[in-house]
A and B are shown apart, each in its own frame.
Chain A
Amino acid sequence: MSDVAMSRREWLLSERPQSRLQARLGRAYMSWQRFAANRLALIGLAIIIMLLLVAAFAPVLAPYSPVAGDLRQGLKPPGWEHWMGTDDQGRDILSRIIYGSRLTLYVVVLVAILAAPIGLLVGTVAGYAGGWIDTVLSRITDIFLAFPKLILALAFVAALGPGIENAVIAIAITSWPPYARIARAETLTVRNSDYIAAVRLMGASPARIVVRHIMPLCISSLIVRVTLDMAGIILTAAGLGFLGLGAQPPLPEWGAMIASGRRFILDQWWVAAMPGMAILIVSLGFNLLGDGLRDALDPRGAGQ
C-alpha cells in the first residue's frame, strides 16, 4: 500500500513529466502541499467549505422558516428551542442566518464574476497594446483606484435604487481596478517573451494572443486577489444592507438583520449579535484562505 502511495508521490513530483497532465497535476500537488502546511489556511478552507455546504443544504439544516415567524415567540433569548433566539417578529435567527448564507454567496460570486473579467480585460489589453491605449486605460484605472469605494457604491445604489442586485452592480463597478492593475503587471512581464513572439509569427491576431496566451497566465494571481477581496466584498455588502440599501426585508441578509436588531440592542442583544458573528466568521475564513493561497501559489510574496 505504502509502496503504491510512494510511487504515486514520485510520479507527481517527477522532474521529467511524461505528459502535460502529469506536469499540471504535479504542480497542483506541490501547491497543495505548501497550502496544507499552513494550518490557518486550512481553517479558512474549512470555513468556506462549511459556508458552501450550509448554503446548499439550507432547507435541510434550518429548523424553522426564515421568513415566517410566530409573533407569540418574539424576542426569545437563545435556548433549546431557538439556538440563537428569535427576532421581533418571532422568526428563528439561526434559520435566517442559514438562509442568509445563500445571499452572501450570491453577492460574492456575482461580484467576482462581474468585476474580475472587467479587470482582466482592461489590464491585459492595456498591457499588451501599450502606447496611448495603455496610458488611457491605466489613467482610468488609477482614477477609480483613488475613489472611496464604499461612498461611491452608496451613491450608485442611491441612484439605482436599493436592492441586492443593484448593490452587486455598485460593488462590482467599484472593485475592478485592482484586478486591472494586476493583469496589466502580469501582461507586461510576458508580452516580450519568446513564446509570445512565436505565436505572433504563426499569425495569431492580437485578440487571440491576449485571450489564449496572456489571460491564462493572469488567472492564478487574479484568483488570489479575488479571494483576498471576498472579505471586503462581504463587509461592503453587509454595510449596504445595514444602511438599508442592500437586500430588502424580509430577505435574511446578515447586514440588514443587524440593522433590524439595532433597536433591541440594549435588552435583546442576540438579535444583532448573531448575524454579526456570522459575517465575522465568513470573512475571517476568506481572509485566511486568501493568505494561504497567496503563499502557496506565489512563494515570492510569502512572509510579507
Chain B
Amino acid sequence: MANTADRVSTRGRRRSGASSLAWSILSFLVVAAITFLGLITVTFFIGRVIPIDPVLAIVGDRAPASVVAAARKQYGFDLPLWDQYLLYLTKALKGDFGNSVLSTYPVMDDIRRVLPATLELATVGTIIGLLLGIPLGVLAAVKRDSLIDQIVRVIGLVGYSVPIFWLGLMGLLVFYARLGWVEGPGRIGVAYEYSFTPITGLFLVDAILQGDWDVFRDVFRHIILPGALLGYFSMAYISRMTRSFMLNELSQEYIVAARAKGLSETRVIWGHALRNAAVPLVTVIALSYATLLEGSVLTETVFAWPGIGSYLYNSLQNADMNAVLGGTIVIGALFIALNLLSDLLYRVLDPRTRT
C-alpha cells in the first residue's frame, strides 16, 4: 500500500515533462506489453524451471507412466527450454493454460466461471470504501488535528496492521454466529442455490434483473460482511490519500482567492479543492481495486466465496500447477492492467501533464 502511495506522489513530477497525449498512449502500450511479457516469463520460471520435473508438477506423482509421457509430449517438455518458453508464451497469450487436474476442464473456462464472484465482491468493497473514505478524508484534512483527523489516522494504522483473514474470521464470529445479522460463508443460501440461474454471474445484478427480491435479500446478506471487510481496507487507503491530496490543494493560492471572492466554505472545499484532488484520487481508486483483487485469495478462503481466490487456493492445496499458473496470470494481468490504467488515466485527466 505504502509503495503505491509513493508512486502516486512521484507521478506528478515524473509526468510533467510528458509531451502529447498520443505519445503517452504509445508509451503506455509499450510498457504494458513489456510488463505482461514479464509476468508470463516469471510464471514460466515458476511453473516450468523451478520444479525438478514439471511434468510431475502438472499430472501429480501418482499418474501412470503413459499419462506422464503423454503430458510430456503435450506440453513440449521434450523440447529445448527456449522452445518450451515460446510454446508457453503463445499458449498463454491465447488464454490456453492447459487443463486443470482437479476439475478436468480447461483452466480458462474455470476462471471465466469463478471470476464474476470476485469482481462483484471487489466492486462492493470499493463502493463502500469510496462512500466512506472520501468524506472522511476531506473532513480530516479540513479539520486537521481534530478528533476526526485522529480517527482517520487510527483507521489507517489498524488497516495497515491487521491481518485481513483474521478480521474476517472475527467478523463471522460476531456478526454471523453471535448476532445473526448476516449470513455465513458462501455467496447464496442453499434454498436458492439450485433454483437461481445467473445471467451475468454478478448475483446482485442478476437478482435485480430477474426481479427476484427474496434472492436479492439473501445474496445481499451474504455479500455484506466480506464486502464491508474489503470496504474497510479500501476506506483506510482512500481516506488517507484523500486527506493528503486535500491538504495539498487547500494550501494552494486559488483556495485563498476563492475564499477572498466570498465563496462559502462548503463550495471552496467540495467544489474547488475536492475537484482538483479528484484526478489523483481516480488513480488511488484503481489501485485500491487492484489490491482488493490481489487480497481475494485470503478473503475468499475465509468466507468460502467461490471466486478466483478460492480457486487459486484449492489448486494450491491440490498441487494443480496449471490452475495455479493460470490463476496467477489472470489475477496478475488484471492487477497490472489496473495499475497501468491508473497511470494513463492520470495523464489523460490532468491537464497539467499535457502541452
Structural contact, B163 and A238, CB atoms closer than 8 A? yes
CB-based nearest A residue for B328: A155
Q: What distance in Å separates the Cβ of B238 from its nearest Cβ neighbour in chain A?
A: 16
Flag whether A35 is at the interface (Cβ < 8 A): no
Question: Given A148-B335, A231-B160: A178 and B6 within 8 A (CB)?
Answer: yes
Structural contact, B42 and A152, CB atoms closer than 8 A? yes
Binds B, one of A60-68, A186-194, A207-215, A272-280: A272-280
Interface size class of A (residues with CB under 8 A): 35 or more
Q: B163: which of A145, A181, A229, A279 is its contact (CB, 8 Å)? A: A279
Flag whether A201 is at the interface (Cβ < 8 A): no
Per-residue interface assignment for chain B, residues 301 to 328, with 1 indicating a CB less than 8 Å from any chain A CB and 0 otherwise: 1100000000011001101010011011
Q: A284: which of B43, B161, B164, B290 is its contact (CB, 8 Å)? A: B161
Per-residue interface assignment for chain A, residues 141 to 154, with 1 indicating a CB less than 8 Å from any chain B CB and 0 otherwise: 01111111111101
Q: What distance in Å separates the Cβ of B52 from its nearest Cβ neighbour in chain A?
A: 10
Structural contact, B325 and A272, CB atoms closer than 8 A? no
Q: Name the A residues within 8 Å of B317 (CB-CB).
A: 244
- Would you list which residues of chain A between 256 and 304 have a CB under 8 Å from chain B? 258, 262, 265-266, 269, 272-273, 275-276, 279-280, 283-284, 287-288, 304
CB-based nearest A residue for B331: A151
Structural contact, B290 and A283, CB atoms closer than 8 A? no
Structural contact, B169 and A258, CB atoms closer than 8 A? yes
Structural contact, B294 and A150, CB atoms closer than 8 A? yes
Q: What distance in Å separates the Cβ of A139 from its nearest Cβ neighbour in chain B?
A: 7
Flag whether B340 is at the interface (Cβ < 8 A): yes
Q: What distance in Å separates the Cβ of B330 from its nearest Cβ neighbour in chain A?
A: 10
Flag whether B166 is at the interface (Cβ < 8 A): yes
Q: Name the A residues within 8 Å of B340 (CB-CB).
A: 146
Q: What distance in Å separates the Cβ of B30 from its nearest Cβ neighbour in chain A?
A: 10
Flag whether B57 is at the interface (Cβ < 8 A): yes
Flag whether A228 is at the interface (Cβ < 8 A): yes
Flag whether B179 is at the interface (Cβ < 8 A): no
Q: B46: which of A159, A178, A228, A229 is its contact (CB, 8 Å)? A: A159
Per-residue interface assignment for chain B, residues 14 to 56, with 1 indicating a CB less than 8 Å from any chain A CB and 0 otherwise: 0000000000000000010011001100110011001100000
Q: Name the B residues within 8 Å of A142 (CB-CB).
A: 31, 35
Q: Name the B residues within 8 Å of A280 (CB-CB).
A: 158, 161-163, 166
Assembly CA distance A269 to B174 (angstroms): 10
Q: Name the B residues within 8 Å of A228 (CB-CB).
A: 2
Q: B170: which of A140, A155, A243, A273 is its contact (CB, 8 Å)? A: A273
Question: Given A148-B331, A151-B331, A239-B163: A262 and B34 within 8 A (CB)?
Answer: no
Flag whether A113 is at the interface (Cβ < 8 A): no
Q: Name the A residues within 8 Å of B290 (CB-CB).
A: 148
Structural contact, A158 and B316, CB atoms closer than 8 A? yes
Question: Given A151-B335, A287-B157: A159 and B166 within 8 A (CB)?
Answer: no
Per-residue interface assignment for chain B, residues 162 to 181, with 1 indicating a CB less than 8 Å from any chain A CB and 0 otherwise: 11111101101100010000
Structural contact, B46 and A156, CB atoms closer than 8 A? yes
Structural contact, B297 and A139, CB atoms closer than 8 A? no
Structural contact, B165 and A239, CB atoms closer than 8 A? yes
Structural contact, A154 and B160, CB atoms closer than 8 A? no
Structural contact, B295 and A245, CB atoms closer than 8 A? no
Per-residue interface assignment for chain A, residues 236 to 252, with 1 indicating a CB less than 8 Å from any chain B CB and 0 otherwise: 00110011110000000
Flag whether B298 is at the interface (Cβ < 8 A): yes
CB-based nearest A residue for B45: A159
Assembly CA distance A304 to B247 (angstroms): 9
Flag whether A123 is at the interface (Cβ < 8 A): no
Question: Given A239-B163, A265-B173, A280-B163: A288 and B3 within 8 A (CB)?
Answer: no
Question: Given A151-B294, A258-B166, A266-B177: A243 and B301 within 8 A (CB)?
Answer: yes
**Total of A-B residue pairs, C-beta within 8 Å:** 145
CB-based nearest A residue for B7: A145
Q: What distance in Å separates the Cβ of A237 from its nearest Cβ neighbour in chain B?
A: 10
Structural contact, B166 and A276, CB atoms closer than 8 A? yes
Q: A143: which of B34, B157, B158, B302 is its contact (CB, 8 Å)? A: B34
Assembly CA distance A258 to B200 (angstroms): 35
Q: Name the A residues within 8 Å of B163 (CB-CB).
A: 235, 238-239, 242, 255, 258, 276, 279-280, 283
Flag whether A160 is at the interface (Cβ < 8 A): yes
Assembly CA distance A149 to B7 (angstroms): 16
Assembly CA distance A265 to B294 (angstroms): 25
Assembly CA distance A242 to B298 (angstroms): 8
Structural contact, B170 and A276, CB atoms closer than 8 A? yes
- Would you list which residues of chain A between 153 and 168 have a CB under 8 Å from chain B? 154-156, 158-160
Assembly CA distance A288 to B9 (angstroms): 21
CB-based nearest A residue for B5: A304
Per-residue interface assignment for chain A, residues 120 to 153, with 1 indicating a CB less than 8 Å from any chain B CB and 0 otherwise: 0000000000000000000110111111111110
Q: Name the B residues within 8 Å of A276 (CB-CB).
A: 162-163, 166-167, 169-170
Flag whether B332 is at the interface (Cβ < 8 A): yes
Interface residues of A (CB under 8 A from B): 139-140, 142-152, 154-156, 158-160, 178, 181, 228-229, 231-232, 235, 238-239, 242-245, 255, 258, 262, 265-266, 269, 272-273, 275-276, 279-280, 283-284, 287-288, 304
18 pairs of residues in contact across A and B, judged by CB atoms under 8 Å: A143-B39, A146-B335, A148-B293, A149-B294, A155-B47, A156-B46, A159-B321, A178-B6, A232-B160, A258-B169, A262-B169, A272-B169, A276-B163, A279-B163, A280-B163, A283-B161, A284-B158, A287-B160
Q: Which 9 A-B pairs have the closest CB atoms?
A: A276-B166, A143-B38, A283-B161, A148-B294, A284-B161, A159-B50, A148-B335, A155-B328, A159-B46
